[in-house]
Structure 1
């Protein structure tokens, strides 16, 4: 293929690069185009959440144009939460604010933040929503921050592969001189799995205590709580401490996890 040096090593999954998570992608051709964009930028790990037309998909391989290795290593998940459970930094691409209070980056800033996070030995990924509607509010709430691409406001729509290529390009161009961001004291960033376990427990107790009222506002309250805790970039120790707080309050009131 023109412009390709096949003597160079291809990108491999599981390396020090962000995971690309495609949520409910609709067309195999688009998945293949994303794989090509990923390999252009040395990104090797793709995760698919409930692809509409199933997986594997021959149309994806035809469109990948040499990036078949990315497709062969792609993993499929039923839910977005499952797909990001082992990650401890998740960025969500979205064209709208979704009325959620989160850190927001342009692609170049996002690449620097991700580069520093991975340089510290942690894992991270970038969420891309389905072609027509993008990510749902609850999926954006799972992320630590959002990525917004400032384009012509009269025509700001990107197709899926364009979005992946744009973020991938900024990642590839981000130099190794990015200052490493570290937490003072000890503690590893909590994984999405551990964060969500705590938040599910908290929501259950708040439901039992009558806090999630009225019912029609409960989903919004849950998203606000999730954004509040995720903005804090909790460590493993933070999560353990918060579990202890909940347990102490339950014991004080003569209750236990139900």
Structure 2
């Protein structure tokens, strides 16, 4: 994501360093790097925030700027969203995270997403400084979101059309996920046929040929990796060792 187009994440009067650090991690998950803090309760820098950021997300905290007021933290911001379940008595448009972040991606200027303190959320004076409200459609019986969860949700909605559309299809060692070739499949079939013959599986003799044919057909149908083939060979050796 281009840094000049990224929305700025503004945390207003955050109370716990751990939540600031977790928010930094959530931001970096979706390529967001600019954090602004307004009156963090426990001061700044905060060792608990650094510990929670854990590694790479520390760069977000290193670049974080601290402001005395939200008005000052809005420097250079052209459009701001206030995240709150309240404040609807103010005359402002209300959006879901998805529609709000669609607007942020399309906006020609710099956008900000404003989050309130963990215990109380944003006050009306804070919300009044935003252009629009973002409200998450959650269970009305339990509408509370952790600060970092809220940041993660907004980051995901912002990045969903900018980051890869699908996750990597494979994890693990490359040699374990490579497709098994026909020779490897053939040798696996030979190994099973040999052991099953020793165990008397192909019985009665009049059906043995069709049973062997069905097994060969089954191996050919399976989408096995080289790792799968090694595991199946190992399982068979272990089962027949005695």
- Taking structure 1 as the reference length, the TM-score comes to 0.61
**Aligned equivalents of 2:64 and 2:162: distance in 1?**
27
Residues 4 and 110 in structure 2, CA contact (< 8 A), matched pair in contact too: no
Residue 44 (str. 1) matches residue 33 (str. 2)? yes
**TM superposition shift of 1:97:** 3.5
Q: Once the 2 structures are TM-superposed, how far is the Cα of residue 77 of structure 1 from its aligned partner?
A: 0.1
* 3-state SS of paired residue (2:31): coil
Structure 1 residues 105-150: Cα deviation after superposition (integer angstroms, max 9, x where no partner): 1000011000011xx2x11100000001111101101100000000
Q: What's 1:130 paired with?
A: 117
Give the structure 2 partner of residue 65 of structure 1: 54
Query: Superposed, which structure 2 residues align to 1:1-258 within 5 Å?
Result: 14-66=3-55, 67-117=57-107, 120=108, 122-175=109-162
Deviation at 1:65, TM superposition (A): 1.7
Q: Work out the CA distance in 2 between the residues paired with 1:152 and 1:161.
A: 18
Q: Is the 8 A contact 2:87 2:127 kept in 1?
A: no
Q: CA deviation at 1:41?
A: 0.8
Tell me the residue number matched to 1:247.
Answer: none
3-state SS of paired residue (1:47): strand
Instruction: List per-residue Cα deviations over 1:53-75 (Å, max 9, x = no partner).
Output: 00000100100122000000000
Deviation at 1:104?
0.7
Tell me the SS of whatever aligns to 1:26.
Answer: coil
- The aligned counterpart of 1:248 is none
User: Stretches of 4+ moved more than 6 A in 1?
Assistant: none
Q: Secondary structure at the match of 2:37?
A: strand
Secondary structure at the counterpart of residue 23 of structure 2: helix
Cα RMSD, aligned residues only: 1.5
1-side partners of 2:35 and 2:131: how far apart?
19
CA–CA distance in 1 between the matches of 2:81 and 2:161? 16
Once the two structures are TM-superposed, the CA of residue 175 in structure 1 deviates from its matched residue by 4.8
Provide structure 1 residue ranges, at least 5 long, that are not aligned to the other structure: 1-10, 177-258
Q: For residues 143 and 41 of structure 2, what CA distance do their matches in structure 1 show?
A: 25
Larger-Rg structure: 2
Cα distance in structure 1, aligned partners of 2:125 and 2:161: 30
Secondary structure at the aligned position of 1:15 is classed as: helix
Partner residue in 1 for 2:194: none
- The normalised TM-score by structure 2 is 0.65
Secondary structure in structure 1 of the residue aligned to 2:140: coil
Greater fraction helix: 2
